[in-house]
Amino acid sequence: MRKPKRLGEELATWGVTFISWSAIGILGGVLVFLLYKGVGVLSWSFLTEPMRDGMRGGGIAPAIVGSLWVTMVAILIGGVIGTAAGAYLSEFAQQPRLKRFIEFLVTTLAGIPSIVYGLFGLALFVTALGLGASILAGGMTLALLSLPLLIRNAQEAFSAVPSSLKQASIGLGASETQTFFRITFPIALPRILTGLVLATGRVLGETAPVLFTVAAYYLPTYPHSVLEPTMLLPYHLYALITSGVNIRETYPMAFGTALVLLILTLCFTLLSAYLRYKLKKRYRV
Amino acid sequence: MKDKWAKRVFQAAAGTTFLILLGLTFFLFREGMPALYRSPYEELVFAVHPANPVQQLSTNAVRSLVRGEKSWRELGGPDTPAVAVHLGNIERYLSGPFLPGQLQRKLDSLAHLSGIFLALPASLMPGFAKRIRVPWRGGAEIFGSSRWSPTYEPVPAVGFWPLLVGSLWVGAIGLFVVVPLGIAMAIYVVEFLPARLYYPVKVMWEVLAGLPSVVVGFWGLVIVVPWVQRLFHLSAGETALTAGLLLGWMTLPLMASLVEEALQAIPQLLYESSYGLGATQWQTILRLKIPYILPSIATATLLSAGRILGETMVVLMVSGNAPILPLSPLDPVRTLPATLAAELGEAPVGSYHYHVLFLMGVFLFLLTLALNLTAYFIRPRDEKA
């Protein structure tokens, strides 16, 4: 079946191969570069101590803690609402038109730029609800941002549960909600958690929505409640690069911060990829 | 009974999507619309010397008067040099300790200057001055002016054009990168990639898609910016091109996976018949597969455009942040989202600057919404499920 190859086609094949691998190669370059520049900065004290002397010395612990707090709030709120909404779309929606409309809304929300969510968070949570710049305000803003991803993921997870199982449960006399909580939900749970892990990685790296809703420029203490502002890794990195008193002095700190942020997001992204791979193998879907 | 309530809760959760979209639209408009009907200098009064026949000045005239670009003669006034006194330069007319009474007397002593132009709060305005009007037309200022200088005293310039054009430059360059390369990557993955490498490559795409934009911006600033500067012999490497290249690269996974999905969905019968008729692999790709998925490519392009136009941090860090009308891709630019990110933190809540930034948010929201809606409605029917 294979014909003798023509030169143009050979070149085209080489072209797409080259493009694909160079896009990935640049990614590799970024990772290696940041690792090379940042690994010297990393130390136990860098990870566990607060900043000192403006931003020139000390560690980045408050930013790490702040980022984890905000992400946790976002994923908790987004996870609950997203999973419930996904369950509705997959299991309980009876009118197809309403279902399609909500799916359309999810698509629309997914396309809204993150900075616009930041504006919304500023107007609603920070100003109108009077939360001020706080972990709660920022977390809720990020929850809204990650909701489309979480809803879609939950919907797919519930839809992937074999309907034979659901029907068997109904046939044994269980109600719809009983079937959902005892059969569908436990089976779909690993996939839902995988989606949550992926969303965690995305939320950790988001900068634009938290600029006005939670991020503090320099606040080397640990937050005591969710109603306080906090430093965040991405914003701290941004601040280090763009508005440090002496850029040269803060550069090593910036490389260290970038590497920590990169490793954190990478862990979550790779973990979700690994979980999905495992699930695929187990369920063959 | 319990069933019903559980279902209600699930339905309510799904309903939040509607509430979010509604609330987002409401709050953006509520905070943004005042920019169209309010004026940035509500608490200021404008005045000239009583002998000056001018009754009204346009905002542009005031700006050029203050900058010293135009004389009174050109604006229909006396043949004297203009002396503009406003809150931004009032220190120049003060000496010694600042006391309100002294300020008043100091300003009164300026009465001999026949070319004087005053822009001050009513409480400070000296008695000799003749008040004039400076009407503010929000819509014309915002959509008609090509200058963005929102804190300029006494009359700010809030034209969206330089920022919109900046966004369009970056978007165009980004698309120029992402569309051909994204399609090429999708073709490679579907047609040529060995099966055992499929999963690793897809994971790499995911890693790239999940790269924090601030990290990409940092890398761009350290590596790509100096590289662009040296390559084109520029005084600064922070240009629309730099931002466009980085954004295009970042958006590749989105574009490539959408195109890949479409390529995978082509009915096997179609391309098998093409092979059966003796077409080569590339002939099949170029004459059958690509034409077949054109609608999907259009959708993917629009979605990528929306993503690029909305991206904030990378542009903020590598595009030079100059809110001037860019004429070439090697000019520094400032995009709409970058302006929001850079300035909203400094604009006091409720000020005109704050409202005009929210109006820009509305504008950006509608722009990306239009792109996404178009993408949604031209999407091939069977994918709409």
Contacts of A211 in chain B (CB under 8 A): 341, 344-345
Look up residue A34 and give its amino acid.
Answer: L
Does B334 map to a domain? yes
Does B253 map to a domain? yes
Which residue in B has a C-alpha nearest to residue A101's C-alpha?
A: B18
Backbone angles phi, psi at B335, to 5 degrees: -95, 175
Contact A113 B371 (CB under 8 A): no
Is B282's Cβ below 8 Å from some Cβ in A? yes
Chain B closest-CA separation from residue A53 CA (Å): 22
Q: What's the rounded Cα separation, in Å, for the pair B245 and B230? A: 16
Rg (C-alpha) for chain B, rounded Å, is 28
* Chain B interface test: which of A116, A145, A158, A255 (most B C-beta within 10 Å): A116
Task: Quote the longest CA-to-CA distance of chain A.
Answer: 72
Q: What's the rounded Cα separation, in Å, for the pair B93 and B90? A: 6
Tell me, yes or no, whether B112 and B215 share the same domain. no
Contact B282 A13 (CB under 8 A): yes
Of B184, B278, B364, which is closest to A20 when you measure between CB atoms? Answer: B184
Quote the mean pLDDT of chain A.
88
Chain B closest-CA separation from residue A109 CA (Å): 7
Is B132's Cβ below 8 Å from some Cβ in A? no
Contact A241 B21 (CB under 8 A): no
Of A119, A237, A262, which is closest to B361 when you measure between CB atoms? Answer: A119
Contacts of B199 in chain A (CB under 8 A): 277
Q: How many CA atoms lie within 13 A of B209 on its CB side?
A: 21
Contact A212 B208 (CB under 8 A): no
What CATH number did the domain enclosing B372 receive?
1.10.3720.10
Contact B184 A124 (CB under 8 A): no
Q: Pick from A63, A45, A66, A34: which is nearest to A251 by CA?
A: A34
What are the tens digits of pLDDT across the range A201-226?
Answer: 999 999 889 988 888 777 777 888 88
Contacts of A173 in chain B (CB under 8 A): none
Q: Is A49 exposed, middle or buried (0-12, 13-18, 19+ CB in 10 A)?
A: middle
Tell me, yes or no, whether B231 and B347 share the same domain. yes
Residue A115: predicted pLDDT: 94
- The dihedral formed by the CA atoms of A88, A90, A96 and A100, expressed in degrees to the nearest 10: 90
Q: What's the rounded Cα separation, in Å, for the pair B103 and B216? A: 52
Backbone angles phi, psi at B293, to 5 degrees: -100, 15
Residue B97: predicted pLDDT: 58
Residue B68: predicted pLDDT: 80
Tell me, yes or no, whether B250 and B307 share the same domain. yes
Q: Is the pLDDT of residue A284 over 60?
A: no
Tell me, yes or no, whether B63 and B210 share the same domain. no
Contacts of A185 in chain B (CB under 8 A): none
Overall number of domains in chain B: 2
> B325 CB contacts (<8 Å, ≥6 apart)?
B146, B161, B162, B165
Parent domain of B273 = 161-383
What are the tens digits of pLDDT across the range B252-311?
Answer: 999 999 999 999 999 999 999 999 999 999 999 999 999 999 999 999 999 999 999 999
Q: What's the rounded Cα separation, in Å, for the pair A244 and A218? A: 11
Which residue in A has a C-alpha nearest to residue B377's C-alpha?
A: A104
Tell me, yes or no, whether B130 and B189 share the same domain. no
Tell me, yes or no, whether B94 and B218 share the same domain. no
Tell me, yes or no, whether B86 and B189 share the same domain. no
Contacts of B208 in chain A (CB under 8 A): 23-24, 27
Which residue in B has a C-alpha nearest to residue A260's C-alpha?
A: B215
Tell me, yes or no, whether B203 and B320 share the same domain. yes
Domains assigned to chain A: 55-283 (1.10.3720.10)
Residue finishing a domain among B135, B170, B199: B135
Q: What's the rounded Cα separation, in Å, for the pair B302 and B372? A: 7
Contact A102 B14 (CB under 8 A): yes
Does B92 map to a domain? yes
User: For chains A and B, what is the number of CB pairs under 8 angstroms?
Assistant: 244
Tell me, yes or no, whether B274 and B317 share the same domain. yes
Residue A240: predicted pLDDT: 85
What are the tens digits of pLDDT across the range A139-179?
Answer: 999 999 999 999 999 999 999 999 899 899 999 988 888 89
Tell me, yes or no, whether B56 and B180 share the same domain. no
Tell me, yes or no, whether B62 and B111 share the same domain. yes
Does B249 map to a domain? yes
Backbone angles phi, psi at A52, to 5 degrees: -135, 165
> B300 CB contacts (<8 Å, ≥6 apart)?
B182, B254, B255, B258, B259, B262
Chain B closest-CA separation from residue A49 CA (Å): 22
Chain B closest-CA separation from residue A111 CA (Å): 6
Does B19 map to a domain? no
Does B166 map to a domain? yes
Which residue in A has a C-alpha nearest to residue B194's C-alpha?
A: A17
Of A111, A120, A234, which is closest to B27 when you measure between CB atoms? Answer: A120
Strands (E) across chain B are located at 44-48, 83-86, 116-121, 130-132, 148-149, 157-158
Of A13, A180, A238, which is closest to B313 when you measure between CB atoms? Answer: A238
What are the tens digits of pLDDT across the range A101-132?
Answer: 999 999 999 999 999 999 999 999 998 998 88
Residue finishing a domain among B120, B135, B150: B135
Does B28 map to a domain? no
Please tell me whether the interface predicted TM-score (ipTM) of this complex is above 0.95: no
The average pLDDT across A38-57 equals: 80
Predicted confidence band at A61 (pLDDT cuts at 50, 70, 90)?
confident
Q: Is the pLDDT of residue A87 over 50?
A: yes
Contacts of B218 in chain A (CB under 8 A): 237, 241, 254, 258
Q: How many CA atoms lie within 13 A of B293 on its CB side?
A: 26
Contact A273 B203 (CB under 8 A): yes
What CATH number did the domain enclosing B68 receive?
3.40.190.10
Of B30, B249, B364, which is closest to A113 when you measure between CB atoms? Answer: B364
Of A106, A127, A241, which is closest to B218 when you measure between CB atoms? Answer: A241
Q: Is the pLDDT of residue A84 over 90?
A: yes
Does B13 map to a domain? no
Chain B closest-CA separation from residue A90 CA (Å): 11
Predicted confidence band at A1 (pLDDT cuts at 50, 70, 90)?
very low
Tell me, yes or no, whether B102 and B178 share the same domain. no
Q: Is B135 exposed, middle or buried (0-12, 13-18, 19+ CB in 10 A)?
A: exposed
- Which stretches of chain B score pLDDT less than 70? 1, 93-101, 381-385
Q: What's the rounded Cα separation, in Å, for the pair A64 and A61? A: 5
What is the separation, in whole angstroms, between the first and last Cα of chain A?
32
Contact A128 B27 (CB under 8 A): yes
Rg (C-alpha) for chain A, rounded Å, is 23
Tell me which H or E stretch contains A57. Answer: strand A57-58
